[in-house]
Structure 1
Amino acid sequence: MRAAVYYGPNKVEIDDVAEPEPTPGTVKVRVGFNGICGTDLHEYYAGPIFVPTQPHPLTGQELPLTLGHEFSGTITAVGAGVSGWNEGDRVAVEPIYKCGHCGPCQAGNYNVCRQIGFHGLMSDGGMAEYTVVPTSMLHTLPDDVSLELGALVEPMSVAYHAATLGDVHPGDTAMVFGAGPIGIGLWFALRGKGLEDVFVVEPSPTRRAAVEALGAATLDPAAVDVAQLIADHTAGAGADAVFDAAGVAPAVATALACVGSRKPMISVAIYEKPLETPLLNLVMNESRIQGSLCYTGADFEAVIALMARGAYDTTGWVTRIPIDDVIDEGFEALHAGKKMKVLVAPTDSPGVDPSGANA
């Protein structure tokens, strides 16, 4: 079968590899679509970062391996001892490997497991025609949720988890900094939680236009004084929650200038450079910074339910490509800012069409 195999920086090849077969407690999935994540880009251009160069403690795998941790598909075979899952079931995959015995796992917060692993980063993943996953990773896709949307459940769950940590409610004012895929996902999540008053702050005209087309209210930080606008808009109270999905110092500084007293800035970005945190501002405002990592199964189920209600729209920001175009139309196009979100269709099997038909 064809698979996008990562060998190291600037080296991903579409190889012909052995087709995997299910083992006890696992299922074999024909991949419908697999999203290229920002983490994949970091691995391609600057890695290995998360991809292990020696056997991972939970998966036993190491470089080289097949990428892909944002994917959906259809079960084609089940391993010994598997019950409750059958051939033909359509699924989204929650790709976390967890130890189950560290402090966070014991507390139910397995998304911050001390030995955390990801299918497609610490094991062979979904950027392939087939992959094998434990049943603990499976979430059923309703008939009215396409495989295309199913492949977006993972990144949208990252955003939904962050939105939940913001502890927002209908009637609140929220702000999202950055209109990449996670920023767009935050806007969808906040709207799904009943918020009407949500501003997306984004300097890129292309990204602003994309999220505006979905219905979002946007602010250009180069054109307006964002902090003053929010102060005026909220009669001086500030935003009830701000979310940083940009990961750059100017966005963080502006976000902290906008957040209300005793309210949070939820940080869901990956910061490539150290940031100076204005602790005095936090003290004087009694505001706080809350980190957000990944998701849990509850976030997956909430996103899938919202998708079934029609709350997510891929128009204008999601592009589908065949696996043979992964480098030029995937990694390179995303790195150059020519595309926002790319879904790879690894197979030509019936029911999986990169054009979207019967997806």
Structure 2
Amino acid sequence: MKAARFYDRGDIRIEDIAPQSLDAGTVRIDVAWCGICGTDLHEYLDGPIFVPAAGHPHPISGESAPVTLGHEFSGVVAELGEGVTDLAVGDHVVVEPYIIGDDVHTGPESQDYHLSPNMNFIGLGGRGGGLAENVVVARRWVHRIDPAVPLDQAALIEPLSVAYHAVQRSGAVAGQTALIGGAGPIGLLTAAVLKAIGVRVIISELSELRRTKALDAGVADVALNPAEVNVAEEVRRLTDGQGADVAFECTSVQVVFDTLLDAVRATGVVVVVSIWGKPASFDMHRLVMREIDVRGTIGYVNSHPATIALVESGKIDLAPFITGKIGLEGLIDEGFDTLINRNETAVKILVS
């Protein structure tokens, strides 16, 4: 079968590989669509990061580069391993793409399995990936979705779950005001979750296309261009001088982080969603004197069922965020190149 394989920084190859074996307790999924994630771009430009370098096997998956990429994907159940009785061939599904040790409790009441030692992701740390014709996944990580949800939109449920968990971490509630720094895929999806729970959303974003997308999709009440306005001052003006209740850093850009610290109210919360490849700095005095909370967030933890419910109920429409569709052979030239060099022109590109 065809698959996109990561060998090293700048070296991703489309190859023919053998399908994975179908073991007891696993599910084979024919992949429909797979999104290109910012993490995939980081691996291509700066990796290996999550991908285990060649000759250094991951302690759980036992694999190292080359590995198949892709962790934001949807598909259709093709085969069921022995003991899997609660799914059927033909079911539409998405995957919570974790690689987690067998000794870690991952039941529905767990709130920390995503922080367990050596955690990694299917499509980065091994165990196949969504940038292949099919993938075999342990039943625990497979989530059925209503077939009324188009499979292309379903491919965005994984990044939407990242956004859902980030909103949970913020403690935001209906009636509050949130500021989002950056209207890339995660920023826009975070806005979508916030709007779904009744939060007023202000977005700060340089790209006109992405500001327009946020407004047209109905996930932002206000979209500000930080090149034209003082975002912190404008947020205070819009909130009767108080500032935003919560803010979300979705860019890994220092000036954006600084702006959010300035724009939240006293006792406000700043959630760092983006992956930073370098140390950040901030004004500790401002943090202390205004009792601001800064919180990190990574991935999701038992977030997929609630996220899927938001989509199935119609409270979140994922269609507006799909701005491109390509074949696997165009992964680098049409997909990665666009998102690296012309990222202001696209939000989410899906690979068939």
Normalised-by-shorter TM-score class? over 0.9
Superposition misfits of 4+ residues, deviation over 6 angstroms: 102-106
Which residue number in structure 2 is paired with residue 259 of structure 1?
264
In 1, Cα distance between equivalents of 2:110 and 2:16: 42
Which residue number in structure 2 is paired with residue 6 of structure 1?
6
Deviates more, 1:313-322 or 1:113-122: 313-322
Alignment match of 1:145 (pick from 135, 149, 160): 149
Which residue number in structure 2 is paired with residue 357 of structure 1?
none
Which residue number in structure 1 is paired with residue 158 of structure 2?
154
Instruction: Work out whether residues 104 and 114 of structure 1, in 8 Å CA contact, stay in contact via their aligned partners in 2.
Output: no
In 1, Cα distance between equivalents of 2:155 and 2:110: 28
Structure 1 position 110, deviation (Å): 1.0
The answer as to 2:116 corresponding to 1:113 is: yes
The answer as to 2:126 corresponding to 1:125 is: no
| Structure 1 portions without partners, runs of 5+ | 346-359
Which residue number in structure 1 is paired with residue 350 of structure 2?
343
Instruction: Determine what percentage of the aligned residue pairs are the same residue.
Output: 38
Amino acid at match of 2:195: R
Which residue number in structure 1 is paired with residue 101 of structure 2?
99
Amino acid at match of 1:289: V
Cα RMSD, aligned residues only: 1.7
Q: Pairwise mapping of residues 300-319 of structure 1 onto structure 2 (< 5 A)?
A: 300-310=304-314, 311-315=316-320, 317-319=322-324
Alignment match of 2:201 (pick from 198, 204, 215): 198
| 1:80-101 deviation line (CA, Å, top 9, x unaligned) | 1222122111101000122254
Which residue number in structure 2 is paired with residue 78 of structure 1?
80
Amino acid at match of 1:295: Y
Instruction: Work out whether residues 185 and 321 of structure 2, in 8 Å CA contact, stay in contact via their aligned partners in 1.
Output: no
Amino acid at match of 1:40: D
The answer as to 2:243 corresponding to 1:238 is: yes
Which residue number in structure 2 is paired with residue 207 of structure 1?
210
Structure 1 position 48, deviation (Å): 1.0
Instruction: Work out whether residues 104 and 113 of structure 1, in 8 Å CA contact, stay in contact via their aligned partners in 2.
Output: no
Alignment match of 1:331 (pick from 313, 325, 336): 336
Instruction: Work out whether residues 179 and 200 of structure 1, in 8 Å CA contact, stay in contact via their aligned partners in 2.
Output: yes
Which residue number in structure 1 is paired with residue 172 of structure 2?
168
The answer as to 2:190 corresponding to 1:183 is: no
In 2, Cα distance between equivalents of 1:322 and 1:104: 35
Deviates more, 1:226-235 or 1:323-332: 226-235
How many pairs are equivalent? 343
In 2, Cα distance between equivalents of 1:100 and 1:76: 25
